[in-house]
Amino acid sequence: MERGSFFDKLISLIYPDTCPYCGKIIDSGKTKCNECEKDIKCIFSVRKILGEVVCVSPYRYSGRVRTAIRKFKFRRYKRYSWNFAMEIVKSIEARFPDKKFSAVTYVPLHKYRKNDRGYNQSRLLAAEIGRKLDIPVQEFLRKIKNNSPQHRLKNLKDRVQNVKGVYEAVCRGENRDGTVILCDDIVTSGSTLVECVKMLKKAGFKDILCVTVANTVREVNENK
């Protein structure tokens, strides 16, 4: 749905938009309140994932951003997908103003996990990014093994091992020459994105840009 349509304005009168980071009511079309706009720094981080493939994230995973992402992911605050996606698009445009994208895809959940939660937060982000950039959202990956959640594993070796052979590419007949956006909620060790990028490359995709709402690791190339 187009933000700003008549129907949307009607909905926002009944259910006003709230700031994901503090809960205050905000004007429709704004991603956060004025105070959070001042307090929460966009870092536009660019992190190396695999070879030339990088991950762009607007935020660091801490404080109010962390709380908002956890509400989005575990407490059904699905509407935050719009606020987060707008910040992701801003980061892409700041870092790669000339890049043209052919599609957006996302890190899939295993069907059992999806049934538990009822939604895939990364897919919701991809849908909003696709709408904003006017590109199709495509399911290029499938999760074929129900592994342990990555956040339960602290050590890098275990995280890398835990995602091996877990994803497969399911794309057929698509244009593989354009740049594809691969979307997830956060990037921690990067192991999940590395594995998904490997599968997309194996399926013939030439250029991939990973995006997440937040990066848990402080990078040397961050904006000050």
Question: Which residues form the interface with Zn ion (CB under 5 A)?
Answer: 19, 21-22, 33, 36
Residue among 26 and 107 whose Cβ is closer to Zn ion = 26
Residue among 21 and 72 whose Cβ is closer to Zn ion = 21
Least distance from Zn ion to the Cβ atom of residue 37, Å:
8
Least distance from Zn ion to the Cβ atom of residue 214, Å:
16
Least distance from Zn ion to the Cβ atom of residue 32, Å:
5
Least distance from Zn ion to the Cβ atom of residue 1, Å:
23
Least distance from Zn ion to the Cβ atom of residue 144, Å:
40
Of 28, 25, 26, 22, nearest to 40 (Cα)? 22
- Provide φ and ψ at 55, rounded to 5°: -120, 125
The answer to whether the CB of 126 falls within 8 A of the CB of 105 is yes
Least distance from Zn ion to the Cβ atom of residue 21, Å:
5
Residue among 43 and 65 whose Cβ is closer to Zn ion = 65
Residue among 16 and 165 whose Cβ is closer to Zn ion = 16
Residue among 35 and 177 whose Cβ is closer to Zn ion = 35
Residue among 32 and 198 whose Cβ is closer to Zn ion = 32
The answer to whether the CB of 212 falls within 8 A of the CB of 187 is yes
- The DSSP annotation for the chain comes to --TTSHHHHHHHHHS--B-TTT--B--TT-SS-HHHHHHSPP--EEEEEETTEEEEESEES-HHHHHHHHHHHHS--TTHHHHHHHHHHHHHHHH-TT--EEEEEEPPPPHHHHHHHSS-HHHHHHHHHHHHHT--B---EEE-S----GGG--SHHHHHHHTTT-EEE---S---SSEEEEEEEEESSSHHHHHHHHHHHHTT--EEEEEEEEESS--TT---
